């Protein structure tokens, strides 16, 4: 089974750039999206490409939002974490399938001068606890707004003390998630330097000055089933690129 994750930075914007043609070429059985910036009635998906779509939009229009598109229906779908103050921005969807649960997440950014760090820390703890409570093997994907190590950022000096590379955020990621889940790209490629996000404002993609902040995590028991993880940095349309997981699972 192939599963895709992609922060679109605006579903409608990427749709105008050929989203469905790109998805058709990648040919994943499930596609997960973050930062859709759209309400359900603003999202159109070719039903022949993905007949089942699950959408979690932010209360604030044009902001945040997540989506899962699938060839087969989920057994159950849960929207959010079940915590009202954390569920206003449409940041999580969990789709349950026969042998696994799939969580897509758009983790809050701590913003300039870490002014939203307190909210981010509350989120990190609650999200990890939620994922650990799921009663079957778990795949977690999405924009997690964290570069784990110096290998995941083009210039460590660019990130010191900044949102997505602060010590607090990196410690939370390791302490809350890495005891129970595996970073699949880094597990397969312990020394590889490849990025999934580039700053539009500085034209970072032109020079490959990027960060790896888009992930596939998995419960440890799923690791033997993983065939490959690919950062598709030749796919354009967003300031992020897709990340494709190939794993020996079925609906």
Residues catalogued as catalytic = 106, 143
Strand order of the β-sheet with 101-106 is 76-79, 92-96, 101-106, 138-143, 214-219, 181-183
Report the C-alpha gap between 155 and 148 in whole angstroms: 13
Indicate the DSSP class of residue 38.
-
Token pair in block for residue 187: 């597990």
Q: Report how far Cα 242 is from the mean position of its chain's Cα atoms.
A: 9
Report the C-alpha gap between 129 and 120 in whole angstroms: 14
DSSP, collapsed to helix, strand or coil, labels residue 176 as: helix
């Amino acid at each position: 089974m192939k599963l895709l994750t992609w922060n679109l930075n605006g579903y409608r914007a990427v749709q105008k750039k050929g989203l469905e043609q790109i998805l058709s070429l990648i040919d994943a059985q499930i596609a997960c999206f973050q930062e859709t910036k759209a309400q359900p009635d603003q999202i159109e998906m070719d039903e022949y490409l993905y007949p089942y779509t699950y959408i979690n939009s932010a209360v604030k229009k044009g902001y945040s939002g997540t989506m899962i598109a699938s060839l087969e229906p989920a057994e159950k779908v849960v929207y959010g974490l079940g915590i009202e103050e954390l569920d206003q921005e449409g940041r999580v969807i969990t789709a349950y399938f026969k042998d696994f649960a799939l969580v897509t997440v758009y983790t809050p950014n701590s913003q300039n001068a870490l002014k939203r760090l307190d909210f981010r820390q509350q989120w990190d703890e609650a999200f990890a606890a939620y994922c650990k409570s799921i009663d079957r093997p778990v795949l977690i994907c999405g924009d997690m707004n964290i570069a784990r190590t110096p290998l995941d950022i083009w210039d460590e000096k660019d990130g010191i003390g900044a949102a997505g590379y602060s010590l607090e955020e990196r410690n939370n990621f390791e302490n809350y998630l890495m005891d129970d889940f595996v970073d699949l790209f880094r597990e397969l490629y312990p020394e590889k330097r490849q990025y999934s996000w580039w700053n539009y404002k500085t034209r970072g993609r032109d020079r490959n000055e990027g960060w790896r902040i888009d992930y596939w995590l998995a419960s440890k028991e799923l690791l033997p089933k993983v065939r490959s993880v690919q950062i598709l940095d030749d796919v354009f349309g967003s300031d992020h690129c897709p990340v494709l997981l190939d794993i020996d699972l079925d609906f």
